[in-house]
Amino acid sequence: MTNTPQPVRGTQSLLGEDADRFHAVVDAFDRVRRLFGFKHVEVPVIEQTSVFARTIGETTDVVSKEMYTFEDRGGELITLRPEFTAGICRAYLSEGWQQFAPLKLATHGPAFRYERPQKGRFRQFHQLDAEVIGAAEAAADVELLSLGDQLLRELGIHDGVTLQLNTLGDAETRDAWRAALVEHFASHRSSLSEDSVLRLERNPLRILDTKDPKERPIADAAPSIDEFLTPEASEFFAQVTAGLDAAGVRWTRNPRLVRGLDYYRHTAFEFVTDRLGAQGTVIAGGRYDGLIEALGGPHTPAVGWAAGIERLGMMIDAPSPEAPSVAVVPLGDRAEAEAQRIVAGLRREGVAADMAYRGNMKKRLGRANAAGAKYALIIGDDELDRGEAQLKDLATGEQRSVSLDLIGEAIRR
């Protein structure tokens, strides 16, 4: 007995309904991003490791534990992308995209993280990604959040999802809040976990996110960012919320929603559902005005979000399976040859056609039915001699003769 090769842990292969759900999400995203005027872009799956280390942060779990990093044959350190934003910002700088700013960009594809696989989470997973680069206005945040809201409407899952929104303020706000958080958590240092003590030095905002029940009361008692907002930061957040209200996008304030890295500013948000158990976030993002600077570029305001295709696919109704309009059923050698010509001609006319070429007449019709075809086109020697075929409506059983030259017209009618 041969050893059948197994998939790499945390990867999946999709067929049938699962593949249809996946592509229904991608197709909906493509329709919506066109409505909003977001250009489709493609960026490489691999980047120099420094692109992610500088933007995701050397001390984050993603960089320290989860990235797929390797040395290529030229001795260069390469990483499979764990997310899209860093690669898009790298392209913005290296490909000369600055000349087109402000840019509304959208893309989708695989990303890779070495983490424990669980429901809706894989080591090779797939994301939708939308970014507005080069726009400092609150209107860009509203535009991006409206895009996410409309995508959920298009997928039919809008009612089960809540947009949670917060502000991280400007640099002055953030620095003052960070200092207050360090002071607060340092006074409770003896009650913090090892992870949180490390975060206290490097990334105190992330302690607010703690899942440790012993730490929750400490995190909940921490100073609120609202105590430190500058007038400018308050005004920016007010413009975002007013814009969302005007656009009819429902939102709720979550003052504990944070982004740990220093280049995040102002708006942070998550579209959250309780339909996926603990893994509730389906779209997440924020404004990252300092990220392109972290890559060595000029100060460039930007805002973006990412969404997991697998997670969204788990929430939608399965789309109707793709079915041919007509299944051609040839009976005999002459008919087989003619059927090839007919199928090719129908497809060129834009009619979805398939050929039932195995088994007896009953089995072939049964397969046509099972494939979801609307019609069966039956061709035998007698029909060929008359220049005709029998067109059978598989729903009603009604059957009629049609000229071989007018098959496409008869089906469309």
Model pLDDT for residues 384-394, shown as the tens digit of each residue: 888 888 898 88
69 CB-near residues (< 8 Å, 6+ apart): 49, 77, 78, 79, 80
Identify which has the larger pLDDT, 296 or 196: 296
pLDDT tens readout for residues 265-320: 899 999 999 876 655 899 999 999 889 998 999 999 999 999 999 999 989 988 88
Helix/strand/coil for 33? helix
Q: How much is the mean pLDDT over the chain?
A: 88
Tokens of 152: 């959920």
Token code pair at residue 63: 């960089």
Outline which parts of the chain fall under CATH 3.40.50.800.
Answer: 326-412
User: Does pLDDT of 31 surpass 70?
Assistant: yes
Q: Is the peptide bond before 102 cis (omega within 30 degrees of 0)?
A: yes
Statement: residue 375 has pLDDT above 80: yes
Q: Which of 51-65, 164-178, 325-339, 348-362 has the lowest mean pLDDT?
A: 51-65
- pLDDT above 90 covers a percentage of the chain that reads 48
In words, the CATH class of domain 326-412 is alpha beta
Query: What DSSP assignment string belongs to 333-388?
Result: HHHHHHHHHHHHHHHHTT--EEE--SS-HHHHHHHHHHTT-SEEEEE-HHHHHHTE
**Closest by Cα among 346, 364, 345, 354 to 322:** 354
Mean pLDDT score, 86-102: 95
Instruction: Tell me the percentage of the chain whose pLDDT exceeds 70.
Output: 95
Instruction: Judge contact between 41 and 87, C-beta under 8 A.
Output: no
Confidence check: pLDDT of 1 > 60: no
Q: Which of the two residues, 310 and 410, has the higher pLDDT score?
A: 310
Q: Of the spans 28-32, 192-196, 291-295, which averages the highest pLDDT?
A: 28-32
Confidence of residue 251 (pLDDT cuts 50, 70, 90): very high
Whether the per-residue pLDDT at 227 is higher than 80: the answer is: yes
Specify the domain boundaries for CATH 3.30.930.10 within the chain.
17-170+230-315
**The pLDDT of residue 56:** 74
Which pLDDT value is given to residue 204?
82
Q: Which CATH fold topology does 17-170+230-315 show?
A: BirA Bifunctional Protein; domain 2 (3.30.930)
pLDDT value at 233 more than 90: yes
Of 215 and 59, which is predicted with more confidence?
A: 215
The residues with which 131 forms a beta bridge, in sequence order, are: 105, 304
> What's the pLDDT at 260?
67
Q: Mean per-residue pLDDT for 241-270?
A: 90
Q: Is the pLDDT of residue 58 over 70?
A: no
Is the pLDDT score of 381 beyond 90? no
* Lowest pLDDT segment from 66-80, 192-206, 328-342, 393-407: 192-206
Q: Extract the runs of DSSP E, i.e. beta strands, from 185-280.
A: 252-253, 265-273
